[in-house]
Amino acid sequence: DGGITQSPKYLFRKEGQNVTLSCEQNLNHDAMYWYRQDPGQGLRLIYYSQIVNDFQKGDIAEGYSVSREKKESFPLTVTSAQKNPTAFYLCASSNSGGPLFQFFGPGTRLTVL
């Protein structure tokens, strides 16, 4: 079955530690995205990548980093510089040559203690 996987579903880290969230897709999509969602709020774009080895900052990139070494993978690192890292993180992908809608993964809930 084609889709997007994010792992783990729940992640706990101590303050000051970097943590990497995984996102993998087998939809053969060119573009991938990372969003952050806080309770009662919408989706805020962190980073996006339109093609392998290229990515752009979104609206709230400070304290985060990404890489896009393979088409199917777009990991997000939450660094110790991110002041409020506890949130629900969503990964999405889209086919840049096709419909404009994005497919979302199930999300990772990160809690920093």
Partner 1 sequence: GQQLNQSPQSMFIQEGEDVSMNCTSSSIFNTWLWYKQDPGEGPVLLIALYKAGELTSNGRLTAQFGITRKDSFLNISASIPSDVGIYFCAGPTIYNQGGKLIFGQGTELSVKP
Cα–Cα distances in Å, from 103 out to 4, 13, 112?
8, 27, 27
Look-up of token digits 């993978």: 73
Shortest Cβ distance from residue 62 to partner 1 (Å)?
A: 18
End-to-end CA distance of the chain: 36
- Side-chain-side CA neighbours of residue 97 (13 Å): 4
Shortest Cβ distance from residue 110 to partner 1 (Å)?
A: 13
Nearer to partner 1, 11 or 79 (CB): 11
Nearer to partner 1, 15 or 54 (CB): 54
Q: What is the DSSP letter of 27?
A: S
Nearer to partner 1, 16 or 98 (CB): 98
The residues that touch partner 1, with contacts defined as CB under 8 A, are 4, 6, 31, 33, 40-43, 45, 48, 50, 56, 88, 90, 92, 94-96, 99-107, 109
